[in-house]
Each structure stands twice: as C-alpha cells, then as structure tokens.
Structure 1
Amino acid sequence: MSKWLKEYQSKLVSPEKAVSVVKNGDWIGSSYAANVLPVLDKALAARAHELYDIKLIGGVSSRIYDWFKADPNGEHFTWNCSHFSAVDRYMAQTGSVYYMPLKYSEILRYIRENLTVDILMLQVAPMDMHGNFNLGPTISHYRASMDVAKIIIVEVNEDMPITHGGYGHYIHISEVDYIVEAGHCGMSQVASEEPVEVDKRIADFVIKEIRDGDCLQLGIGAMPSALGQLIAKSDLKDLGAHTEMLCDAFVDMVDAGVLTGRKKQLDPGRIVYTFGLGTQKLYDFIDNNPAVAGYTADYTNDRKIASLNDNVVSINNSLEIDLTGQVCSESVGPRMISGSGGQLDFVETAYHSKGGRSFICMASTFTDKQGQVHSRIKPLLAHGAVVTDTRPAVHYVVTEHGIVNLKGLFTWQRAEALIGIAHPDFREDLIKEAEKLKIWRNSNKR
C-alpha cells in the first residue's frame, strides 16, 4: 500500500462524521456550478434543525440543495451567492439568499483578504497515484478557498471528469482533513437554453463580425448558444477560446473543425476556461483532454492576461441598456436575475486585445407577466437596476434590429444609434424621452 493510499484510508469517514465538524456560526465554502455535493449535502440537511447561523458560499447552482429543502425558510442556513442561476433565483424567493457584487477576476483576492471560510467542501475525482484529487470542470476560486479554509472535506465522485491545467485544478491529500466517498453519482446535466428566432437573428449580426483566428469568450444564455451553433456550421477557420464558462457550444465548434486555437498568442492550441457546465457531452470532452486547460478565475478573467491574445471576441447577454449606453445584465430593478460575473472583465479584455471586439446582445423587447411588451432600450435604467458595464466600456450593442458601435460617440450620437436598433414600435417614444433628457439633436433624422 502506497503512502498516499494509507493517508487516504486514515482520512476516510462517513458523511455523518464529516459534517459533525460543522458548528453554529460557521461559514462553509460549498457547491459551485457542476461541483455539487449530493452526499455531504444530504448529511448536512439531516442536521438542519440542530444548527443555526450557517452561512454557505457558492453560486451558479445546478440543483436544489437538500439543506434548502430541509430549511426552505432560511431559519438555519443562509445561501451567499456570487452568481445567480435559475435555481438560485428560485431559492431567493425565500429571502434567505444574498448576492455578493464582484468582478469575477477578483474573487480569489476577495476570499484571501475579505472572506471567512471555516469549512470547505469540495467534490473531486478519485485520487491519483501521486495523492492528487482533480477538481474536474470547476476550478474557479477553489484554490483560494483551500488556502484559507480551516477544515477541508472532499467528496469523491467516481464520475468526475479529469481536467488538465492550467493551475488550481487539483488538491493534494496532504491538504485534506476528511474524505467521503460518493460512488458513481453522475454529473449535473444542464442543457443549453434553446435559442428562439430572435436569438438567431441577433447571432446573424454578430457572426458577420467574426473573423478567422479570433479568440472567443461566450457568456451564459440562449443567444451565445445560438451563435456557437452558427459558428460550428460556418466556414470560419482556426478560432480559439479563452473563456470563463465552458459550455456545449465549444464542443460543437471543435467537432466541426472551426475551433483549433492555433492562432492564439497565449496557451496556443488549448481551450482555456475556469468552470464548465453543460451536458455529458461537455464532461466527456473535458475528460483527460490535453487541449483543454482549466485555470483559476484570476487567470482566465484578468484583463492583463487574457488580452495577451489578439482578436479576443467577447459575446454576452444583457437585460437592458439606457440611451447613454449604461448596461444592466444582472437585475430587473432591484431583483437579482444573474450577476456581474466576468462580463465587465471580458468587455474590457476584448477592447484591450489587439483587434478585439465585445458584443452586448439583447432582444429589443420583453413581455411581462401581464402580457405587456416593453423595450429593453430605455431612456433611463429601471429604478434599482444595477449597472454592469459602464458606458465608456461598452463597445458593440446588438439587437435583432441591428448592431451599433458606441465607442467614441457623444451622448446624442449614442441615443440616435441605440434608438436605431430599438423595436420600431418604441422609437418615437424614445426620441421624445431623449429630447427631455437633452440628448437628442433637432437636426437628427426621424
């Protein structure tokens, strides 16, 4: 028996034993994206009514947690979330879910300098012969959490894919306090949102701006997925990828032969990412694939690093924009829908990359629960809306009605450009509001 295997056996405990170390008032680093903890989650839920003031930290939830089911009113557990998914929005209805504003590139520093992590729970792949546990598709911020955590518990998932680095993608057994075996518990399966016609029309505008050799970053949502599908069917050549989230669309582009990474200046030939979330197709693609490199978010999202690649193209969704170019991508009024994540990181990265471009994409309208249609291009952002991308940072804005470049435009020019890609039914009202705001020139054509 090897040294590492002996150490493994000495640290192997039941889930109940592992969570017995949790005490009232603890901060627990927990699930993020595909890194879920079905066994530890259930054991922690069993202790719900004997614990108080437990603060869990995570985000991009891909399943409803057992501890939440055991404590749906948040009397014992509080979810501290760095990025909302549909699951997080559902849990937030209880009032026991709180968001942390961030730039994703800075999250490791926040953890090291500002956060408390009493206990870190990690889902990992089985230990290798060198005593290392691989983190699979979720690297993100975990290295910083390992550095500051007082107690580290790993849950071993036999189905976890092995990701290559990069760095920050594994933890050594010498750092681990307790090991729990979960067996074959599968991976979180999250299908890409199905694009609708408006997504495809927006994607049609963007794909015309993509050139051979560009280095792609795709955000979360149906429109980036639609664009990925279009790119996979295109005759583009030698695209690269340096992204935050890895999704199924990248696999489609590789399979189609359009994404090779050969023209990248940084990590040539490799797809760089910090977390992956998708279907089994994605996890099979990641598994032991040397062409995929997982890094921590302070590498993938740092502008100074990412912009070393030429021709970075950043493509992200948004919820609304005002006539001066302020973009809100994370809330409807004060209600959190998503999060800032790395959108601003990559908007800035693309512009500072030689030949780079960033695209903020949105349908021109949305329909509320009462069936009323509203413009996403507004004179002013909705009351309580969060500014995700400041107006000087915004480059291209795209709707199904067109594409505009806001760089170098004065306020009246911005208003004219954005009204030009608004839904036609709202343009006259937007002109009237622009006049009231004194950002419309009488000489403008109507």
Structure 2
Amino acid sequence: MSVQEAYAQKKMTASDAMRLIKDGDEIVVPTGVGEPPALLTALSEQRRSFKGVKVAQILAIRKYAYLDPETVDNIRHVALFYGAATRTGGQEGWIDFLPNYFSEIPCLIRRGLMPADVVFSMASPMDAHGYFSISLGADYTMAAVARARAVLLEVNPNVPFAYGNCHVHISQVAGLVESDEPVMEVGLPSIGPVQEAIGKYVAELIDDGATLQIGYGGIPDAVVMQLTTKHDLGIHTEMIGDGILTLLEAGAVTNRRKNYLPGKMVATFALGSKKLYTFMDRNPALEIHPVDYTNSPTLAGQNDNLVAINATLQIDLLGQCGSESLGHVLHSGTGGQADFVRAANLSRGGKAFIVLPSTAKHVTISRIVPVLSPGTHVSTSKNDVNYVVTEYGVAQLRGKSAKQRALELISIAHPKFRAELAEQARVMKLM
C-alpha cells in the first residue's frame, strides 16, 4: 500500500475519530498551539459519552468545553503546567496537577509513570515519504507517539514542516483529520519601564557569541529587544517565538559559535505569529526536537557561554525561587526553568538569570522576601540560582555565603522595603 493510499484509508472526521477513544484512556496533547482544535472540540462535544478519560498537557491555550467541572467524571484535565485556560480549575480542585521537570516528561511516559494511551496533535501535511511534522510541539509528544495505542493527527496546511526529531510516519497513525484554520497566534507580551530596565541590566552581561535560552514573558522579551546589536548569538531553547525572530532579522543570531549543533537553532515548541510559523517551514537553520533533548542540562550545557533567562514570582534571602506559586496556590508549573538554570551552570562561561520586578500590587508588596510565603513551591533551589536581576540591579549569588546573599538581594530590592528586609535579616542572623 502506498503512503497516499494509507492516508486515504485513515482519513476521517473529527467526530468519527472519537470512536478510537476508550473509557479510562489518557490522551496526551502537545503544549500550546500544538493542541488540535478540531479534535479537542469533537472530544468536548462528546464528553458525556465517556467515562474516566483524562487529557494531559503542559500548557493548554484554549478553554475547550471539556474543561468543565460538571463533567470531570467523564473527562478530567491533567495539567503539567497551568495557564489561563486551566489555572482556575486547578485552584478550585477539579483539574489535576502533575509535578514535573519539563525535560523529564518523556521519561515519565517511557517508564509508564505517566500513561499515554492516545495522542492528539496538530501536524503538517504529509511529505512524499509518508512523514508528518509535529513542529509546533515535539516536546513530550514524540515519546507519547512511540507508546500510544492510537495516534490522531489534525493535518493542517498552515502547520510548518520543520526538521529535527519531530516526524511521525503514516504507519504510526490511527486516524487523520483535516483542517485549514490558521494556527493560533500568540503576540509578544507588553513591555513597560520596569521590564525595560531589567532587560538592560541582563543585556549588558551577555557577550557576543553567547547561546541563548529565552523563556516566555515581558522581561525575557525586554532582554531580547536589547540584544539586536550583538554578534554571533546562538539559540538553544525550549520555545521559539517572535522575539528570537527579531534577533535573526537584526543579524544578531548566526549560531556560528555554538559548540553543540553549530549553525542550527534548536527548540522543542513554537509560540508566536504566522510570520514565525512561515519562517519555520523547511528551514534548515532550525531543528525541533523532543524536550528531553533540548532541555537536557548535560546536552544544552555543552554550549559554551549558555545564557538562560527565566522569570520568578518571589525570591527569599537565601536565593530560593518560587516561580510557580504564591503560597500553596499554584499559578503555573516548574516548566524548563530548573533545566536551563542547571544547563547554564554546567556551561563553560554560562550565566543563568532569574528576573523579576522588585514589587507587586503597585509597590505594596516586595517580591524579595526574608522567607518564601508558606507553602510556596520552590522552582529553582538556592544551590542552583546564579544571577538575580530587578530594575534596581544585579545580584550574583553563586559562591556567596548566606549573609552575602542577603546583602546582595537587599541591595536590589525596592528602596521602600530595604530597611525592613535588613531588620528581618538581622533577626534571622543573616546580618
């Protein structure tokens, strides 16, 4: 049977594809815009006909109807990282949360610690050899494809065919659903004066030839905007977005000086504009790989001068970063922050930046605190944290004593809170 004949045989409607789902199945969905809207809409419409089905995903973008507290016995979402679509349900208790390092999710799947009975994913059109590219989110999805009983792809001509280890063969697929809606676009976050000030401090410490990992958010993008005059930057990241595209267009990124995969940008998922998705299509300068490859500290750390830029919500005077919750109330998840902080620490000349505004709620709350709020999840440990940057400066904590760390962090806190922090540090015998 030719690959074209196999394609015709496996083509079906989204509604018919739901017949391949069994009660008790766990459906694995890629991160972000890799989620397939036609398949998830059909699942939502038929949700009351299922029992005990779960949908596991690291970052849901759209709020589908199956995200419904009234039907959680039919279909329950398992969040590996909360976003706007799932945060409320998680905080109310009808969406589950699975703690993880982003880089280790494929391992959880391969070892059977995280079930993967069915895969739903967006995919590019099939090539002449029978391969689809799941370029928008290879992440843990490739591991799930290898283990799943049924792989269902939503084939869309607007999905780029990217290179790298992100290809699924027609022989691995149980069902194909066609759609032609534009891939969802996610714009750049807004950048204010605080974010711009932090971005300038970080940019001053990034040398020509550095390899970058850039997280999502206003501050990481503010850093990117300050790097357009740099030379020979490289990209080894988890997310490729429009900020990186800006650096490419400015000529700042060449990937020439990377030690690991020189000449290639590496990422595990995409989140951006139609312009970005068009850029990704059959571009030999970009490879999309599973997250246990892109986020592996030992692999990413082979790049000299690896720079990791990630945000946090709160940091204590020892340097513990609470990036995913305030107290016990979860806001997001660990994601790849710890992966890349460790990678940068392994890299020769590497620098890991944790960035945060000094205050919250209109300068009424300090984000630099004596101790993290009770119940806060520690995302990056005190032993891993390197540079901490606010709009008031830079604190370098590695190799520093507890007392030195407290002094460094107080010096970059908002002036309104420095005396209070110093007094609390004295009570804690840190000053």
Structure 1 and Structure 2 fold alike (TM over 0.5): yes
Contact 1:136 1:162 in 2 (8 A): yes
Of the structure 1 ranges 130-139 and 74-83, higher mean CA displacement relative to structure 2 is found in 74-83
Contact kept in structure 2, 1:62 and 1:188, CA below 8 Å: no
**Matched-pair contact (CA < 8 Å) for 1:62–1:190:** no
Amino acid across the alignment from 2:178: E
Whole-angstrom CA distance in 2 between matches of 1:401 and 1:110: 41
Matched, 1:68 2:67: yes
Normalising by structure 2, report the TM-score: 0.97
Q: CA deviation at 1:91?
A: 4.2
Q: Which moved more, 1:351-360 or 1:82-91?
A: 82-91
Of 101, 104, 115 in structure 2, the residue corresponding to residue 103 of structure 1 is 101
d(CA) in 2 for partners of 1:295, 1:74: 33
Q: Which residue of 2 aligns with 1:244?
A: 238
**Same amino acid, percent of matched pairs:** 35
CA RMSD of aligned residues (A): 1.5
The gaps in structure 2 that reach 5 residues or longer are: none
Q: Is residue 24 from structure 1 mapped to residue 23 from structure 2 by the alignment?
A: yes
Match of 1:175 in 2: 172
Note if contact 1:13-1:180 (Cα within 8 Å) is conserved in structure 2.
Answer: yes
Question: Are 1:426 and 2:422 counterparts?
Answer: no
1:30 positional shift: 2.1
5+ residue gaps, structure 1, are 441-446
- Rounded to whole Å, the distance in 1 between the matches of 2:189 and 2:24 is 38
Match of 2:279 in 1: 285
Q: Deviations over 1:129-163 (max 9, x none)?
A: 10111112211111110111111111111211111
Q: Give how far 1:259 is off.
A: 0.7
Q: Match for 1:197: what amino acid?
A: P
State the one-letter code of the partner of 1:314: A
Q: Check the 8 A contact 1:203/1:227 in 2, yes or no.
A: yes
Say if 1:137 and 1:286, in contact at 8 Å, map to a contact too. Answer: no
| 1:316 aligned residue | 310
**Which one of 205, 210, 221 corresponds to residue 206 of structure 2?**
210
Give the corresponding residue for 2:351. 357
Local SS of the residue matching 1:231: coil
- What CA deviation, in whole Å up to 9, does each residue of 1:339-388 have, x standing for no partner? 11111111111111111111100000000xxx671000000000110111
Q: Which residue of 1 aligns with 2:143?
A: 144
Partner amino acid, structure 1, of 2:214? L
C-alpha contact 1:72 1:94 (8 A) present in aligned 2 = no
One-letter amino acid of the structure 2 residue matched with residue 83 of structure 1:
F
Structure 1 residues 151-300: aligned runs within 5 Å? 151-165=150-164, 167=165, 169-182=166-179, 184-232=180-228, 235-300=229-294
d(CA) in 2 for partners of 1:48, 1:372: 45
Mapped partners of 2:194, 2:253: distance in 1: 25
State the partner residue of 1:444. none
Change (3 A) 1:23 1:94: farther
SS of 2:44's equivalent in the other structure is: helix
Offset from partner CA, 1:86-116 (integer Å, 9 cap, x none):
2222443553222221112211101111111
Superposition map of 1:24-103 within 5 A: 24-68=23-67, 74-103=72-101
| SS, match of residue 416 in structure 1 | helix
Q: Which amino acid aligns with 1:316?
A: N
Q: Which runs of 4+ in 1 moved over 4 A?
A: none
Please state if 1:389 is matched with 2:383.
no
The offset of 1:15, in angstroms, is 1.5
TM-score w.r.t. the length of structure 1 is 0.93
- Cα separation, 1, equivalents of 2:109 and 2:36: 21
**Aligned residue number for residue 394 of structure 2:** 403
Tell me the number of residue pairs that the alignment of Structure 1 and Structure 2 aligns. Answer: 430
Give the Cα–Cα distance (whole angstroms) in 2 for the partners of residues 331 and 207 of structure 1: 27
Q: Is contact 1:73–1:96 with CA below 8 Å preserved after alignment?
A: no
Partner of 1:127: 126
Give the 3 Å change call, closer, same or farther, for CA 372–249 of structure 1 in structure 2.
closer
Q: How does 1:427-442 map to 2 (within 5 A)?
A: 427-440=418-431
Give the secondary structure class of the aligned counterpart of 2:34.
Answer: coil
Compared with structure 1, are the counterparts of its residues 32 and 72 closer, same or farther at alpha carbon in structure 2 (3 Å cutoff)?
A: farther
Secondary structure of the equivalent of 1:19?
helix
SS in 2 for 1:79: strand
